[in-house]
Structure 1
Amino acid sequence: MNSPKKKYGDDWVAWFLVLLTAFFISLAGSIILASVNVWAASESKRTVTTQEIKESAENYLVSHLGWDPESMDIAVSYDGKDLILPEGELMLDFRMPNNSRRVGRIPLTVQVKVNDKFIKRLRMNATVAVIQDVIRTINSVQRKTI
């Protein structure tokens, strides 16, 4: 059996060391990349459900509309999915159009921020119905007499 020294001379040792070094470098690189992926994936996340988003929108409308909360009937329609957000201080910044009508269909825009960093913008509709007592008189009554 021929030895590698006879066939290739003394160069085979150098080539073997080069190949062995390349193997260990690639092995170390793959270990480093795998640890970086695990580190990035281990960042804590939290889920904000659509129900929580709808409840926050209802609370915003109750506090910002000029009606009595017991007389309002609010239905928020949001067709989006649950949000997966990074851990931190969550802020939902609600916006309404600046029109004078505060009853009926009201479009809402929500900016989702975590630690004052913008993450996503959501759009939803709210339907607001207001119930008021009505007095019906038999005889005509002038204004501002009741």
Structure 2
Amino acid sequence: MDIICGKTWTFGENIDTDVIIPGRYLRTFNPQDLADHVLEGERPDFTKNVQQGDVIVAGENFGCGSSREQAPVAIKTAGVNAIIAKSFARIFYRNAINIGLPVIVSDINAEDGDIIKIDLSKGILINETSGESQNFEPFKEFMLNILEDGGLVNHYLNND
């Protein structure tokens, strides 16, 4: 999982967990049911068109709002392999790592449909469409191990 490459979906600032997965859908614990409604209020085309391996690129404060764990679960289950944002809400960031969804703090320019390549261990983002590259704080080995194992619980179970 050190290298991720995918098509981008762009979002603005302050995408909160209520926008990511509205409260009316929290009656289920089925990850696919959540994914079927992820970000639909912000981008109605998202749930119909997101594909396995896609990447979200967003502005400041992604995942703000309540600490609902279903938000990163819905995003990951929908097929998103990573989120790049200028900043993240702390709880969202940790919840994403805990379920094995890479979240990268960086400010890279991207438009919908651009192809982004992410090297987690070297800390390099490349927008292959525009040619722009950006450095970010590389993931430490223990974080890469958690992501590789599919999240913190799986990592714990694999290393027990």
Please classify the TM superposition score into its range, dividing by the shorter chain length. Answer: under 0.3
Structure 1 or 2: more helix by fraction: 1
Report the TM-score, using the length of structure 1 for normalisation.
0.27
Greater relative contact order (CA < 8 Å, ≥ 6 in sequence): 2
Report the TM-score, using the length of structure 2 for normalisation.
0.25
Q: Please tell me whether Structure 1 or Structure 2 has the larger radius of gyration of its CA atoms.
A: 1
